[in-house]
Structure 1
Amino acid sequence: MSKAISPLRPVHLAGAIVLGLATASAGAFDITGKYCDTPSRCVNPSTTQGMVTTSNYLATQAGLKVLRDGGNAIDAAIAAAATLAVVYPQMTTIGGDNFWLIHNAKTGEMRALNASGRAGEKATIDFYKQKGLSKIPARGYLAANTVPGVISGWDEAYRYGKQSMGSKLSWSQLMDSAIGYAQDGFAVTPSLAKWAQININPADQEFRNLQRFTGFKKTYLKADGSIYQVGEVMKQPELAATLRLIAKDGAKAFYQGPIAKKIVDELQRNDGVLTLKDFATHKANWVTPLKVPYRDTVAYNLPPNTQGMAALEILNVLNNFDVKKLGEGTTDYYHLIIEATKEAFADRDKYLSDPDFVQIPVDFLLSKQHGIDQAKRIQMATAATSVKPLDPKGDTIWLGVVDKDGNAVSLIQSVYHDFGSGIVPEGTGVLLQNRGSFFSLDKTHVNHLQPGKRTFHTLNPAMLLKDGKPLLVYGTMGGEGQPQTQAAIVTRIVDFGMTPQDAINGPRWLHGRTWGAVSNDLKIEGRAPLAVTDELKKRGHPINVVEDYTDTMGHAGAIWIDPATKVRYGATDPRGDGVAAGY
């Protein structure tokens, strides 16, 4: 593949000279790598058939086994996601939500699936206000106020894949690995041990001290109340039984059967708001994906209620700059993407909620002219201070799959905060999410609580297409950091020709604030050169240098499909417990 530059007329913007151009098309990788220890680390794995990347090696193997056994990309994604729901409960469980981007190689269509849950019929602002609350609690029974959507997403996607892609595997076979790890146990990873320890801090009654909840203590801690250390074996027999029911009876076991009854019974015994009707009427929805051009590719993401529009807005702004000319890892590079992020987040925070309840001008926000107007506001010498990003508050998994036929899946699944609400209803093993705690109790807020409403979601899986075919399947966990990390991955690969692994390894940043913080800052990994962080400070960025490879930056992943050879290059994040593998 050759690199071609098509310069267009320069556009003089405030503080910078910007080229309105599509820069170099994706060319051959520089396998020496800027952030890899060896060339091999930059391109391994590369395969010709299937590829799976997830944030846990057991989940990757589960997905790969399904591909080898004749399953399609959707089947493999379900098997991997189900395994993650067992071995990575700090980030995702079947009590959470998921979102899908699916590219069908046979039809050429891109499908988007929203499997997020809605607020319960009794979840009203008055309900919380009558309890003397000014905000929805972050943890506990009152935080579990939206129906878990994960199983509905697996079910809907499976049906679509079976019909349109073909598969040799049954629904129940996709649960085999997850059931095995739940019943027989798995070795605890560093990420799980770390977040378990953080969450038993008795001094933090608002966000931590999760051992106060019986189900959490029984499920995730040892009999003496201590955490499972790295390498110790954790078993979840109640979750195994729940997964067996789902394997046998499908989604109806979760939403209309004994599982729903157990969950609702415990919630209602503790003044919770979800009802059997809420579960029985829940469904995942196919939605129209959003897209914007970026250089010679087209970037796809999910529409509201996700922040996919913000991720695309960043790229829409960057289209007006010659990013390659700035140089990867330079002060100008970081500054520009951070400032583009502020522009996108200002729109997101003003408009984003459930489109069934509010009008969101998505076409305008992703228009070429709006991107130009946003670019004109960026001052390269000075950091803008007028925007107020929301708290990151997100713990999630992303996974990607490409099968032998070229079908591609970008899937993101989450329980919101690490370990969600902290509630595990007795007899289920299902940790419930606390996504609904993000609703506002202010009736004037765009994302205020209403029964049946889906809340603002940070989750947004992504994919780049070139000439109508998948080029890059990518995504990350990390709440507020997701659009920023996506921009880092895309620019490093498309504009600078880096391998997916090199792009993910590179120093990352997060513009926003973390739990309990009263002001925003710019977290940047310590591997960024001191000269760069010093110059960013001079431009007005509130720099907070954090540890190298901190998982505050999320666990990213990517699969690059070479347009000429069709070789798949997988990448996973050294900040997590994951691996990419293929055949």
Structure 2
Amino acid sequence: MHRRSFLAALPLGVMGAGAAMAQPYPNVGMGDRITGERFAGRSTVWGSQGAAATAHPIATLIGIDTLRRGGSAIDAAIAINAALGFLEPVANGIGGDAFGLLWDPALGRVVGFNGSGNSPMGLSLETARSRAVDGYLPRYGAVTVNVPGTVDAWWSVHQRYGKLPWAEVLLPVAELCERGAPVPQVIAYYLERNMANFQRPNAGIEEIDNALSVYTTSGRTPREGEMFRNPNLGRTYRMIAEGGRDAFYDGPIAEHIESYFRRIGGWMTRADLAAHQTEWVTPLMTTYRGVEVYGLGPNTQGLSTLQLLNVAEQFDLRTMGFQSAASIHHQAEAKRLAFEDRARWFSDPRFTEIPVEHLLSKAYAAERAALIRPDRVMDHVFPGDAPTQGDTTYFSVADADGMMVSWIQSNYRGMGSGLVPDGPDGSTLGFMFQDRGELFALRDGHPNLYQPGKRPFHTIIPGFACRDGQPWMAFGVMGGGMQPQGQAQIIINMVDYGLGPQEAGDAPRWQHYGSSEPTGQPAEGVGVLHLESGVPAVSRAGLEAMGWTLGPPDGGFGGYQNVMRQINADGGWTYGAATEMRKDGLALAW
């Protein structure tokens, strides 16, 4: 069976991106910094009144401008997310879902929300199975589309935490869509490849003309530095600014969406949209060497980050050495153990009982850690016994009142399903629907089995960490199954190896592929451990000697943002913001 890779940030065909993006001067290394670690591409950005770190410089500027106009961190987060839906359509948009963790200064604790939508009530399991490819749901098309949760998430968090009027948050972004912006390097690269994939023979997309009209001009996508405009999305934002969430879920936008799916033979209806509601949730938490690390529970994979850290905590990674074979080996084996539980248990908790407390316990982590051999990769990894009771953008933002927001939003595989809904007067609504439904299982008895009105397993997860009960970091690493692996590496880099937020993100990363998947796809032996080129040669040799199959850099190591709060000697705090050198992003503070 052909192995399918579930990388939300990467469209089909980008697994060879390491070769495709090769530089003309492969033997030239980085310049030398006068301070800090040599592998860090820049310094952490510091400010006292607020900070933002996003995947696009203009989105960061919009976030900072929203804060400077008196907005809260939530106002800034909504404006950033709306801007990224235009600026970075290869990773997110209002056709997808959103999740968040935030520090509420008034409550003095971390709170979370789940903004993921249900599958259409009119799409049966029988019909879904009839559209399967090799026993799994396809990558693209209407069968993969769930109710988009993002706009309702914006509305719900703004009702609680917004300071600026709703329309004042969105209208500057609508103007940006109409005015346009130059396309940066990485986004131009992915935009071209996404659109090429959608146009492949037998892609399974009911219609592609709407997407072509939005994202191409004269038969091609915009190149680096060229202007891109999306006035249709600007008009949609104006409707949402005027009519609130109801404009999208039970108003003119909902009418257009229902008519579109009726036209192409899909299943989404206005009733499906109107029934959607963001869920406020209590985050899960574990400690890693005294640091409190938070994650969202299923239907997300946030528990996997916490499980990975619980297992890694059983070993003295600091003594093993930064980027050593031993340290990477134990981290990767912890990932393999956590991901087998992910494949076995994770699903929509409204439909399946999931033994979260047991899977999160330190006693269970100790049992699992005992399976790891220090000098040899495990031949087989299975989910643990538990009592029966289961392409993305990420950004961080903080304000002067102490609110810190960790926000992640995605259309799943690259740009999403390939489907852009019709708009008024022969136009479009300017956004693409997610293909998150691809992650349902179709095997009877599986917790993540497709059902109408059910949320699929979700890869996107925000991260948050506290120290001594006070907020420390709003952070995340985007990119499908890379997210728990990347989040754990950031925590380990900072806690075990003492790196700062920018250095922790710029450090070379590893990613393991080949674990079992929540779609029911089984593991493939020990899988493949991909290493970035900065991992020392001696570590590579040591990992191969342990039995690891090593893969090259493939462009799939995620995208990272972080806003860290530092308590200073005078008792006040400052914010340190860091961004991802692998993307087009920018971190700013003031």
| Same fold per superposition (TM over 0.5) | yes
The equivalent residue for 1:228 is 222
The equivalent residue for 1:405 is 401
1:416-427 equivalences in 2 (<5 Å) = 416-427=412-423
The equivalent residue for 2:21 is none
2:452 paired with 1:451: yes
1:246-325 equivalences in 2 (<5 Å) = 246-325=240-319
AA matched with 1:102: L
Do the aligned residues in 2 keep the contact of 1:117 with 1:147 (CA within 8 Å)?
yes
Distance (whole Å) between structure 1 residues aligned to residue 451 and residue 57 of structure 2: 39
The equivalent residue for 1:535 is 542
Q: CA 1:206–1:191 in 2, change beyond 3 Å: closer, same or farther? A: farther
Distance (whole Å) between structure 2 residues aligned to residue 558 and residue 203 of structure 1: 33
Distance (whole Å) between structure 2 residues aligned to residue 72 and residue 468 of structure 1: 22
Instruction: Give 1:190's match in structure 2, choosing from 185, 195, 202.
Output: 185
The equivalent residue for 1:24 is none
Q: CA 1:556–1:357 in 2, change beyond 3 Å: closer, same or farther? A: same
Of the structure 1 ranges 558-567 and 513-522, higher mean CA displacement relative to structure 2 is found in 513-522
Distance (whole Å) between structure 2 residues aligned to residue 206 and residue 380 of structure 1: 47
AA matched with 2:543: L
2:350 paired with 1:356: yes
The equivalent residue for 2:565 is 561
1:479-490 equivalences in 2 (<5 Å) = 479-490=480-491
Distance (whole Å) between structure 2 residues aligned to residue 211 and residue 52 of structure 1: 38
The equivalent residue for 2:210 is 215
Residue 53 of structure 2 aligns to a residue whose secondary structure is strand
2:410 paired with 1:414: yes
Gaps of 5+ in 1: 1-29, 390-394
Do the aligned residues in 1 keep the contact of 2:129 with 2:137 (CA within 8 Å)?
no
Residue 328 of structure 2 aligns to a residue whose secondary structure is helix
Distance (whole Å) between structure 1 residues aligned to residue 197 and residue 38 of structure 2: 43
Distance (whole Å) between structure 2 residues aligned to residue 32 and residue 207 of structure 1: 50
Residue 560 of structure 1 aligns to a residue whose secondary structure is strand
**1:397 Cα deviation from its structure 2 partner:** 0.6
Q: Structure 2-normalised TM-score? A: 0.87
1:492-531 equivalences in 2 (<5 Å) = 492-513=493-514, 519=524, 520-531=527-538
Q: CA 1:535–1:436 in 2, change beyond 3 Å: closer, same or farther? A: same
Do the aligned residues in 1 keep the contact of 2:140 with 2:204 (CA within 8 Å)?
no
Residue 562 of structure 1 aligns to a residue whose secondary structure is strand
Distance (whole Å) between structure 2 residues aligned to residue 78 and residue 107 of structure 1: 21
Distance (whole Å) between structure 2 residues aligned to residue 388 and residue 574 of structure 1: 35
The equivalent residue for 1:23 is none
Q: CA 1:458–1:209 in 2, change beyond 3 Å: closer, same or farther? A: same
Distance (whole Å) between structure 1 residues aligned to residue 566 and residue 110 of structure 2: 19
Residue 196 of structure 2 aligns to a residue whose secondary structure is coil
Do the aligned residues in 2 keep the contact of 1:201 with 1:208 (CA within 8 Å)?
no
Q: How many residues align?
A: 535
Residue 351 of structure 2 aligns to a residue whose secondary structure is coil
AA matched with 1:366: L
The equivalent residue for 2:69 is 69
**1:451 Cα deviation from its structure 2 partner:** 0.9
Deviations 1:211-258 (A, max 9, x none): 961111011011x21111111111111111100000111100000011
Q: CA 1:262–1:411 in 2, change beyond 3 Å: closer, same or farther? A: same
1:452-467 equivalences in 2 (<5 Å) = 452-467=453-468
Do the aligned residues in 2 keep the contact of 1:33 with 1:42 (CA within 8 Å)?
no
**1:192 Cα deviation from its structure 2 partner:** 2.1
RMSD of Structure 2 on Structure 1 (CA): 2.2
AA matched with 1:339: E
The equivalent residue for 1:7 is none
The equivalent residue for 2:392 is 396
**1:202 Cα deviation from its structure 2 partner:** 6.3
Residue 567 of structure 1 aligns to a residue whose secondary structure is strand
Distance (whole Å) between structure 2 residues aligned to residue 203 and residue 110 of structure 1: 40
AA matched with 1:523: H
**1:200 Cα deviation from its structure 2 partner:** 3.7
**1:199 Cα deviation from its structure 2 partner:** 2.4
**1:34 Cα deviation from its structure 2 partner:** 4.3
Distance (whole Å) between structure 2 residues aligned to residue 418 and residue 131 of structure 1: 21
Q: CA 1:206–1:340 in 2, change beyond 3 Å: closer, same or farther? A: farther
Distance (whole Å) between structure 1 residues aligned to residue 244 and residue 499 of structure 2: 42
Do the aligned residues in 1 keep the contact of 2:530 with 2:550 (CA within 8 Å)?
yes
The equivalent residue for 1:147 is 147
**1:143 Cα deviation from its structure 2 partner:** 2.1
Residue 434 of structure 2 aligns to a residue whose secondary structure is coil
**1:100 Cα deviation from its structure 2 partner:** 0.8
Gaps of 5+ in 2: 1-33, 384-390, 424-428
Residue 552 of structure 2 aligns to a residue whose secondary structure is strand
Deviations 1:408-440 (A, max 9, x none): 110000000111001101221121000011112
Do the aligned residues in 1 keep the contact of 2:151 with 2:248 (CA within 8 Å)?
yes
Distance (whole Å) between structure 2 residues aligned to residue 268 and residue 434 of structure 1: 18
Residue 416 of structure 1 aligns to a residue whose secondary structure is coil
**1:150 Cα deviation from its structure 2 partner:** 0.3
Distance (whole Å) between structure 2 residues aligned to residue 306 and residue 504 of structure 1: 23
Distance (whole Å) between structure 1 residues aligned to residue 589 and residue 233 of structure 2: 29
**1:441 Cα deviation from its structure 2 partner:** 1.9
AA matched with 1:91: A
Distance (whole Å) between structure 1 residues aligned to residue 581 and residue 422 of structure 2: 35
Of the structure 1 ranges 452-461 and 194-203, higher mean CA displacement relative to structure 2 is found in 194-203
Distance (whole Å) between structure 1 residues aligned to residue 280 and residue 495 of structure 2: 29
Distance (whole Å) between structure 2 residues aligned to residue 385 and residue 511 of structure 1: 15
**1:207 Cα deviation from its structure 2 partner:** 8.9
2:174 paired with 1:170: no
Do the aligned residues in 2 keep the contact of 1:31 with 1:42 (CA within 8 Å)?
no
1:108-187 equivalences in 2 (<5 Å) = 108-130=108-130, 134-144=135-145, 146-162=146-162, 167=163, 169-187=164-182
The equivalent residue for 2:328 is 334
Do the aligned residues in 2 keep the contact of 1:73 with 1:407 (CA within 8 Å)?
yes
Deviations 1:344-371 (A, max 9, x none): 1111111000000111100001111011
Residue 332 of structure 1 aligns to a residue whose secondary structure is helix
AA matched with 1:447: N
Do the aligned residues in 1 keep the contact of 2:440 with 2:450 (CA within 8 Å)?
yes
The equivalent residue for 2:579 is 572
The equivalent residue for 1:199 is 194
